[in-house]
């Protein structure tokens, strides 16, 4: 996450490497019109060397709290980037989104043609009924709120949304600030749904509900076929990531 950590420990393949905490305290410091996080008086820098600098005090304090709790809150304790979710989102906002907002808009728009809520099952009947009951209202919300009608299909045959729909979605995304784009950059891939991401940032639903709607297929599958540890882990990860992104956005909006 930053170049202020040291002593990496071996980890299984695919797992983030553990780092050893070398600082005692994490504090917030004013920096121009924003706030930075300091570790024992030294500012945290991101991989691209930019300062971990945010506008609002509330978000800065939450970032400092993450660093204060990393490594079990003690010098020498081990932690991974996964223990710093708000910092990871802030880093994306600062080093990737702010310099090139259009790249993020383009990446998010790619989820429109693969929009989860537009691909409906043909069986079993229970799943079909639940998708209609829980997914259709959010497509209706998008149409009522923004005048955007998305095409739907059954099975796995790919569909392409109309140029008008894609243009309208792009206009919405370009109107968001960097913090909202950063939050959507986590929420949308986690849920595989741009619609649910837009509903969440608009305040039409909360993070827990959005994650529940997004994982309808998996939860129904386990109800029919029984417990699956891999699916359970995926559900937990989706719920956690959406909640973290929403927490970041709420804090950023506090100023």
pLDDT value for 250: 98
pLDDT band of 15, cuts 50, 70, 90:
low
Domains of the chain with bracketed CATH: 6-82 (3.30.2180.10), 101-254 (1.10.3580.10)
pLDDT on residue 14: 53
Cα–Cα–Cα angle for 47, 48, 53, rounded to 5 degrees:
85
Residue 6 clears pLDDT 50, i.e. is over it: no
Tens-digit pLDDT profile for residues 83-97: 999 999 999 999 999
Q: Does residue 4 register a pLDDT over 60?
A: no
Q: Span 108-117, mean pLDDT? A: 98
Q: Are 39 and 87 in contact (CB under 8 A)?
A: no
- Cβ density class 186-208: b for 16+ within 10 Å, e for less: bbbbbbbbbbbbbbbbeeebebe
The model carries a pTM of 0.92
pLDDT of residue 8 exceeding 80, the answer is no
CB atoms within 10 A of CB 55: 16
Strand partners, 31: 34
């Amino acid at each position: 996450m930053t170049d202020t950590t040291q002593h990496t420990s071996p980890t299984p393949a695919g797992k983030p490497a553990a780092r050893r905490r070398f600082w005692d305290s994490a504090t917030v410091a004013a920096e121009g019109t924003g706030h930075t996080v300091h570790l024992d008086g030294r500012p945290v820098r991101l991989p691209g060397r930019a300062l971990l600098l945010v506008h609002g005090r509330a978000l800065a304090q939450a970032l400092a709290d993450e660093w204060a709790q990393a490594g079990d809150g003690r010098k020498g304790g081990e932690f991974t980037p996964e223990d710093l979710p708000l910092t990871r989102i802030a880093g994306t906002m600062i080093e990737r989104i702010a310099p090139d907002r259009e790249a993020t808009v383009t990446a998010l728009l790619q989820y429109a043609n693969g929009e989860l809520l537009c691909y409906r099952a043909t069986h079993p009947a229970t799943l079909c009924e639940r998708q209609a009951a829980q997914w259709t209202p959010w497509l209706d919300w998008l149409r009522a709120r923004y005048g955007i009608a998305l095409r739907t299909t059954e099975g796995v045959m790919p569909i392409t949304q109309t140029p008008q729909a894609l243009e309208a979605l792009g206009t919405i995304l370009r109107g968001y600030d960097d913090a909202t784009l950063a939050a959507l950059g986590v929420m949308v891939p986690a849920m595989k749904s741009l619609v649910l991401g837009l509903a969440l940032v608009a305040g039409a639903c909360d993070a827990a509900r959005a994650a529940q709607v997004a994982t309808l297929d998996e939860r129904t599958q386990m109800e029919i076929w029984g417990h699956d540890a891999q699916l359970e882990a995926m559900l937990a990860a989706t719920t956690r990531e959406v909640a973290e992104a929403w927490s970041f956005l709420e804090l950023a909006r506090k100023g």
